[in-house]
């Protein structure tokens, strides 16, 4: 596979809409990331290139469209090209700055977005009357003409010429492409290896001879889709199921000439689910026996039996904790963590290219659809266990990888992930413990059969499976009682090799807790890895066992406090940097707001500046601002226009002089005040430019204020 970059230059304004509306003042927005940087989704690019390939075929050229871009739902003919999202030039450096100054208003996502785009308005005209149709005004955000976007492209070298031909005819993208928007120039250039996000973390841990467990960490460069049985493409799991890693391992073993079936016969092999990782620690589902306290965000109640509610919590309203992931710190405090999810909107254009929009199919199915995914930029951790020979094979397969593709739709826009082996260790040996009270928690969904070979969610079947695995199934009389805190889920999947769906099954969900209370201690066998149920190789059936302290009762415990944001760091507006450009943009808004406030608060003799008598002078000075670009030039124009010896001209000259003096005085400290307000350092903006900017804003607001007073006066006369 050759690595290239697709360079997209905007020859006109462009709107690649994401289908979402985030505020009432905007009808159509563009796609942008969490930092505010606009981007062109890879699926839009791939769709446009496919159309270009089909058009070239219509013109008589031979373009292998199906081989190049793949067929829908076909595993045997996957796309030979992989396209990433197109981001602005120098994106990595700009993101580094955005992360460095995260929390500072200068780098607020909307400020970043405003730097690369602006809002246009448009309306429909009634051809009979020649005026705008009522309620037809629309606002649309567009990316600025002149921006350059870059997308990483991996393509089989045999198809390079065909892809290059498609790029040559790729001239428009986005909405309203037939009405002036979205004109582009696309060029396929030889790419360079993309620098990794965190180079230090991409070094794999050294191999440990005899290791029987391999820990790994995933960093999502792009969103990842792990389809949920409930909701199809519109919903994604918020973790990466073990089946994805099992498939990746199988693919790498086969690619390197190995036999995956022979590999699996060497012993019991297990791929865990990869859950959210915070500070290198793998978070787990909150236990179902933990209850939140209504209107209390700092404490929670952990029940150790159905009746074990602490006395101080008896009058409190308790609710089961909603689905979340947790980790425990060294002080025993529980920290709640949330996986960031996102939805992106997509559409399919009709086969009839004369229809320039997405339309419903004859069956009534909409061509608009949304895809839920795990947001990029997050880390997930998991592990695999097996025999020493299996782990050695897995390590050899993964250590040669740094970038992988996981999940659905990973030929464009989704799925690119970095992988790193974080540790190898020998398996904890099987041990025997004397337990009387203990907790069994499901760390992943569990699929069970009953004695009639049907899938079961009967708690009795789960209890029987646990007793068998732990080795005390022959001592049922010793169990005093079992407390049950149960979650349920639906699991399924899709086998791309067979091109068939897996059966949809009701199962016990992760977080389920069974608390065992025995009449007397019993010898329990605890294997190093407790697995129960079916399909354990693909992440199902992971179980943990914890001993309860003697007489342990329900407790009110503290939730770990979220790390508070440190003091906002000052933004260094280095010349030529994005920080300087954003500071300049925001300074313009700041000056205008100061001018509005100053006009509103004019008092005493200065209040004469917004009387009706001052209107001609204000209007003339606004024209001077448009004709001149400096304060000295404006002062010269004032002197030239009003410097004649007449009483009328002399009064206007004095009024214009007062306006210039007022603007000079009020604009002097603006740069200092702005820097202090927005925590900016080293921001340079020339004094003359600040005076000119303030004067123009001040005059515009004066003119508006005068008109407003005149309108109010007329209303009073009419009343």
**Contacts for 206 with CB less than 8 Å, ≥ 6 apart:** 424
CB 526 within 8 A of CB 430: yes
DSSP assignment letter at 616: H
Residue 618 has pLDDT above 70, yes or no: yes
* pLDDT number for residue 198: 46
pTM of the model as a whole: 0.84
Residue 705: DSSP 8-state: H
Residue 547 has pLDDT above 80, yes or no: yes
Q: Encode pLDDT of 84-122 as tens digits.
A: 999 999 999 999 999 989 888 999 999 999 999 999 988
Burial 352-363 (b: 16+ CB within 10 A, else e): eeeeeeeeeeee
pLDDT of residue 709: 83
Whether the pLDDT of residue 533 is over 80: the answer is yes
Mean predicted confidence (pLDDT) in 540-566 = 69
Q: Check pLDDT > 60 for residue 567.
A: no
Q: Which of 194-208, 297-311, 522-536 has the highest mean pLDDT?
A: 522-536
39: confidence class by pLDDT, cuts 50, 70, 90: very high
- The pLDDT tens digits of the residues spanning 175-184 come to 888 888 999 9
Residue 18 has pLDDT above 90, yes or no: no
Q: What pLDDT sits at residue 195?
A: 46
| Helix-helix angle 670-677:578-600, to 10 degrees | 110
Mean residue pLDDT across the chain: 84
Q: Count CB atoms within 10 A of the CB of residue 23.
A: 7
Task: Tell which wins on pLDDT, 220 or 498.
Answer: 220
- What's the confidence (pLDDT) of residue 629? 83
pLDDT digits (tens, 9 = 90+) for 424-459: 988 767 777 788 888 899 999 999 998 888 999 999
- For the record, the structure tokens of 718 come out as 């009419």
Positive or negative torsion for Cα 356, 360, 361, 366: positive
| Percent of the chain topping pLDDT 70 | 87
> 205: pLDDT confidence band, cut at 50, 70 and 90?
confident
| Per-residue confidence band for 526, with pLDDT thresholds at 50, 70 and 90 | confident
Estimate the crossing angle of helix 578-600 against helix 687-718, to 10 degrees: 40
Cα 617 vs. chain centroid, distance in angstroms?
Answer: 52
Handedness of CA 509, 223, 103, 29 (dihedral sign): negative
What is the structure's pLDDT at 546? 85
Instruction: Provide the 3-class DSSP secondary structure of residue 424.
Output: strand
Residue 19 pLDDT? 72
Q: What confidence tens digit (pLDDT) does each residue in 651-679 have?
A: 888 888 889 998 889 888 999 999 999 99
């Amino acid at each position: 596979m050759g690595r290239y970059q697709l360079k997209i230059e905007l020859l006109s304004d462009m709107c690649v809409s994401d289908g979402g509306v985030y505020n009432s003042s905007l009808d159509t927005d563009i796609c942008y990331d969490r930092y505010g940087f606009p981007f062109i989704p890879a699926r839009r690019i791939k769709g446009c290139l496919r159309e270009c390939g089909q058009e070239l075929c219509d013109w008589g050229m031979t373009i292998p469209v199906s081989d190049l871009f793949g067929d829908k739902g076909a595993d045997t003919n996957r796309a030979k090209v992989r396209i990433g999202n197109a981001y602005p030039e120098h994106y990595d450096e700009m993101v580094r700055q955005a992360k460095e100054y995260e929390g500072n208003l200068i780098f607020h996502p909307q400020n970043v977005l405003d730097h690369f785009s602006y809002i246009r308005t448009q309306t429909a005209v009634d051809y009979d009357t020649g005026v705008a149709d009522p309620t037809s005004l629309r606002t649309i955000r567009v990316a600025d003409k002149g921006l350059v976007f870059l997308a990483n492209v991996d393509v089989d070298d045999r198809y390079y010429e065909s892809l290059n031909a498609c790029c040559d005819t790729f001239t428009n993208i986005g909405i309203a492409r037939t009405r002036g928007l979205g004109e582009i120039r696309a060029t396929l250039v030889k790419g360079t290896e993309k620098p990794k996000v965190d180079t230090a973390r991409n070094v794999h841990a050294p191999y440990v001879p005899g290791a029987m467990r391999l820990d790994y960490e995933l960093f999502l460069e792009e969103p990842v889709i792990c389809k949920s049985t409930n909701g199809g493409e519109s919903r994604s799991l918020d973790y990466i199921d073990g089946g994805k890693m099992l498939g990746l391992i199988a693919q790498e073993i086969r690619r390197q000439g190995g036999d995956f079936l022979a590999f699996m016969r060497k012993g019991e092999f297990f791929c865990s689910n990869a859950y959210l990782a915070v500070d290198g620690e793998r978070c787990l589902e909150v236990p179902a026996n933990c209850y939140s306290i209504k209107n209390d965000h700092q404490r929670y109640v952990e029940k150790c039996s159905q009746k074990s509610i602490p006395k101080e919590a008896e009058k409190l309203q308790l609710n089961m904790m909603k689905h979340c992931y947790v980790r425990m710190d060294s002080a025993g405090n529980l920290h709640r963590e949330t996986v960031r999810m996102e939805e992106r909107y997509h559409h399919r254009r009709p086969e009839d290219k004369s229809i320039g929009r997405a339309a419903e199919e004859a069956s009534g199915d909409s061509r608009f659809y949304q895809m839920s995914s795990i947001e990029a930029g997050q880390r997930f951790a998991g592990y695999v266990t097996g025999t020493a020979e299996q782990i050695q094979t897995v390590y050899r397969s993964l250590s040669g990888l740094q970038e992988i593709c996981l999940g659905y739709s990973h030929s464009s826009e989704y799925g690119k992930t970095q992988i790193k082996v974080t540790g190898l260790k020998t398996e904890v040996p099987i041990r025997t413990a004397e337990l009387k009270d203990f907790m069994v928690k499901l760390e992943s969904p569990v699929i069970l059969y009953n004695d009639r070979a049907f899938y079961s969610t009967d708690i009795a079947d789960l209890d029987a499976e646990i007793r068998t695995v732990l080795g005390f199934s022959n001592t049922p009389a010793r169990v005093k009682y079992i407390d049950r805190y149960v979650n349920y889920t639906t699991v399924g999947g899709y086998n791309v090799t067979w091109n068939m769906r897996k059966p949809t099954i009701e199962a016990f969900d992760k977080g389920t807790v069974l608390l065992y209370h025995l009449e007397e201690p019993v010898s329990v066998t605890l294997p190093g890895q407790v697995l129960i149920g079916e399909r354990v190789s693909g992440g199902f059936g992971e179980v943990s066992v914890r001993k309860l302290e003697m007489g342990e009762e329900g407790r009110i415990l503290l939730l770990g406090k979220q790390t508070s944001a440190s003091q906002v760091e000052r933004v260094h507006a280095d010349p030529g940097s994005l920080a300087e450009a954003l500071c300049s943009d925001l300074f313009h808004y700041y000056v205008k707001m100061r001018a509005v406030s100053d006009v509103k608060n004019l008092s005493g003799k200065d209040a004469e500046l917004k009387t009706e008598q001052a209107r001609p002078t204000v209007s003339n000075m606004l024209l001077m601002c448009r004709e001149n670009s400096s304060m000295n030039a404006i002062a010269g124009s004032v002197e030239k226009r009003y410097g004649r010896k007449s009483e009328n001209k002399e009064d206007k000259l004095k009024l214009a002089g007062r306006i210039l003096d007022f603007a000079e005085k009020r604009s002097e400290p603006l740069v200092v005040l702005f820097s202090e307000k927005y925590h900016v350092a080293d921001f340079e903006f020339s004094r003359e430019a600040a005076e000119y900017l303030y004067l123009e804003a001040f005059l515009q607001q004066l003119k508006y204020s005068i008109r407003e007073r005149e309108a109010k006066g007329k209303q009073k006369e009419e009343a």
